[in-house]
Every structure is written in structure tokens, then in C-alpha cells.
Amino acid sequence: MPTTATPTAFLLDESCFWHGGGNYAFLAPVGGLVQPIQGGLPESPESKRRLKNLLERTGLLAELVTRSAAPAHEEMLRRVHDGAYLKEFKRLSDAGGGELGERTPFGPGGYEIAALSAGLAVEALRMVLAAEAHNAYALCRPPGHHCLPAHPMGFCLMANIAIAVETALAERRAERIAIVDWDVHHGNGTEAIFWERGDVLTISLHQENNYPRPSGGVEARGAGAGEDYNINVPLLPGGGHDAYLYAFERIVQPALARFRPDAIVVAAGFDASGVDPLGRMLAFGATFKEMTRMLMQSARELCGGRLAFAHEGGYSELHVPFCAHQVLEELSHSTIHAPDPLESRIGGQQPTRRQIAFQRGLINEMAEFFLL
């Protein structure tokens, strides 16, 4: 249980809200017949800044240990990323910004902001492993779970969680770490980085065939020493509260118990929200709160409660703050509660009993496939 000596840490930095760049109209490059849209890409600072605002407004922020962190330094970055990629990223960033890879524009200083975003994740995991916090949440921006060692994609410029995990392992703060990714998109970058590794279990729950494609199938289970240490749980579009919680019960919790990690890191995207423009799922505040509760239970049983979150996607400026607030309520055992203003709307759109039974059947098949 938390004490005053080990509260929930909340890592953030205003600089991360200043990351930007590119000339997009939502997902399409501007040009020809595509008129610019104010705000450009759906990945904007507002959903994250409004989370901080909501935490301030409800008073929960005052119950957390709030601080920034040092940027991840080059040695940390090089444990995951190719030197040539980092060099080119830094060169373009110093020259005023640019774009490498796929939908990953950045402005001046973008390299430093991305390293800071990774640094927040590094610090969150370090604090948890050093027992300086009971658990921790890093409000990373830009996100990280799509980024490959030499190829940024899907708004992700550095692999924040992979950098944090490699740092913890290199510094011998842990020997085995599990990553649970509930972002609506497949955590392809994390999967690729740890593909042949038996000391890092990667689990991704995502909407089947969303982004990237083709990616995230159940048959992708890792290779070599990493065989069976990558678990993909593709869910049908339209899945909601029951699909996520049932997948947690049947697959995520048993897989964690089998792996016995020293810590659990969560890739916390909020784009499984029922109003997210880049997802077609039906999760809401209570879904994220309950998934957090289940992960806390696993962490308590397996690794002394050591649990660190890194913020990933989520593009509803209205809904992300309420979903994430419920995660932080749960992590900190707070009595402060911000009701989800969309709970009755999204709650009323949940799948029918017939659809739920079908989805549960697919989840059971997957659990059997993974021998869980």
C-alpha cells in the first residue's frame, strides 16, 4: 500500500507540449486539393495538456509527486536506436525541423524534446525500481511505441519505453521486464526491438488491422531467445469494456504470471476510447480504470507492485484527460474522482450479448494458442 514515502509519481515537462511541425491536414499531407486544417496532425498537445489541467482542477495533481526529468542521453538512446538515425534527426532538428520516416514531423529542437520525452519514461521506471515511488506515470510526448531503431513512424520519434527498459536492464536495476501496450494501435516498434529477447515480455492489445498494416497478428510470437515472449491480442473493431477486461483476465494476467517480471511497464494510449478519431473501439473511463486495477493486482502479486506508465496515443481532446485521470485515481488510491462525461454515451453503445460472446470466443482461442 502507498505511504507518504512512496506515492505515485507524475513525470511531465512543458517542453513536451511544444513539440510540433509538419504540414498536414489530419493524416494527409497538405497540397493539391487538400486544404490545410488548423492543428494539422491529430497528434496535438491538447489532449495531454488538458490532462494536466484536469488533474489540477480536481486537486489530484497535488496528491502526486510531480516533476520533470533529464533528457535521455546519447548512451541510453544508442541502446535502442541506430547512430545514423540519431545523427540525422539531430542535424535536421538543429536546422529548424523536418521529417524522417512516416508521419513524424518535428520542429526546431524536436530532437531534444523527443529525448526529454524518453527521459520522462526512463525516470518513471527508475523511480519505481528504486522504490522512490510506489508507481509512476510519465506524460510522454512525442509517443514512442511505433518507433523502430532506425525508422520513426506513427508520430513516434524515439522508442520511449524501450529506452527506459534497456536503461533499467543495463543499470542492473531489473533482470526481467514486461511491457503491456493497450494503445489501440499495434506496438510494432516495441515488438521489433525486443523480438529476439527472452528477458522482455511484450504484450500488445490492439484493434485488428488498424495501424500499422500488416502488423500485430497472433502468429508473431518472437524468435530465437525471444520466441513466445511476444504476445499480440488483436481485437475486433467495436470491442469495448468487456473485450478489454476479458482479454486482461484470460491473456494478460496469466501471461504476466507465467513470465514473473521484476516490473511492469504500460504503454498507455487512450485511443481505444469510443470517440477517438483513429480507433474504432468502445472503451471509456471505467475500462481504463479497471485495466489499471488488474495490472496493479498482477504487479502486487508478482513484483512488489512495481508499475510504470508511459503515455502513448489518444486523440480526443475531450476524452483522453478523463480516461487518464481514472488511471491516476487508481494508481494513487485517491478518493478524488472525475466522472467520465461520455460514460453513458459510450456505455450505451457497447456490443450486444451476441457480439460479446463471439469476441470472448476469439479471446479464448487466443489464450489457448498462447497455452495460457
Piece of 242-250, 267-275, 317-325, 336-344 that binds Zn ion (CB under 5 A):
267-275
Task: State in Å, rounded, how far the first CA of the chain is from the last one.
Answer: 29
Q: Name the residue nearer to Zn ion (CB basis): 43 or 166.
A: 43
181 binds Zn ion (CB under 5 A): no
The least distance separating Zn ion from the CB of residue 185, rounded to whole angstroms, comes to 4
Piece of 9-17, 191-199, 286-294, 309-317 that binds Zn ion (CB under 5 A):
309-317
Q: Please state, as a whole number, how many other Cβ atoms lie within 10 Å of the Cβ of residue 25.
A: 16
Buried b (16+ CB within 10 A) or exposed e, 203-224: bbbbbbebbeeebbeeebbbee
Q: How far are the Cα atoms of 239, 279, 340, 368 from residue 372, in angstroms, in the given order?
A: 21, 28, 33, 6
Where does 175-261 show beta strands of DSSP type E? 177-181, 200-207, 230-235
The least distance separating Zn ion from the CB of residue 316, rounded to whole angstroms, comes to 12
Parallel/antiparallel/unpaired status of strands 177-181 and 200-207? parallel
Parallel/antiparallel/unpaired status of strands 8-11 and 135-138? parallel
Piece of 20-28, 34-42, 44-52, 307-315 that binds Zn ion (CB under 5 A):
307-315
Q: Name the residue nearer to Zn ion (CB basis): 40 or 269.
A: 269
Piece of 95-103, 252-260, 269-277, 343-351 that binds Zn ion (CB under 5 A):
269-277
Bridge partners (DSSP) of residue 273 are 283
What is the size of the binding site for Zn ion (CB under 5 A)?
5
CB 113 within 8 A of CB 101: no
Say which amino acid occupies 304. Answer: G
The least distance separating Zn ion from the CB of residue 35, rounded to whole angstroms, comes to 25
Indicate the SS3 state at residue 353.
helix
Q: Name the residue nearer to Zn ion (CB basis): 203 or 302.
A: 203
The least distance separating Zn ion from the CB of residue 231, rounded to whole angstroms, comes to 18
Determine if the peptide bond prior to 214 is cis (ω within 30°): yes
Q: Name the residue nearer to Zn ion (CB basis): 63 or 271.
A: 271
269 binds Zn ion (CB under 5 A): yes
Piece of 92-100, 262-270, 291-299, 317-325 that binds Zn ion (CB under 5 A):
262-270
Output the residue with the shortest Cβ distance to Zn ion.
313
CB 176 within 8 A of CB 168: no
313 binds Zn ion (CB under 5 A): yes
The least distance separating Zn ion from the CB of residue 170, rounded to whole angstroms, comes to 28
189 binds Zn ion (CB under 5 A): no
144 binds Zn ion (CB under 5 A): no
Q: How far are the Cα atoms of 87, 121, 223 from residue 81, in angstroms, in the given order?
A: 10, 16, 20
The least distance separating Zn ion from the CB of residue 66, rounded to whole angstroms, comes to 25
The least distance separating Zn ion from the CB of residue 177, rounded to whole angstroms, comes to 21
Question: Rounded distance, CA 255 to CA 369, Å?
Answer: 12
187 binds Zn ion (CB under 5 A): no
183 binds Zn ion (CB under 5 A): yes
CB 333 within 8 A of CB 291: no
Write down the catalytic residue from 19, 81, 146, 241. 146
- Find the binder of Zn ion among 13, 181, 242, 271 (CB under 5 A): 271
Active site residue 337: no
**Taking Cα atoms as reference points, which of 266, 240, 82 lies closest to residue 160?**
266
185 binds Zn ion (CB under 5 A): yes
CB 187 within 8 A of CB 215: no
Q: Mind telling me the catalytic residues?
A: 146
The contact set with Zn ion (CB under 5 A) reads 183, 185, 269, 271, 313
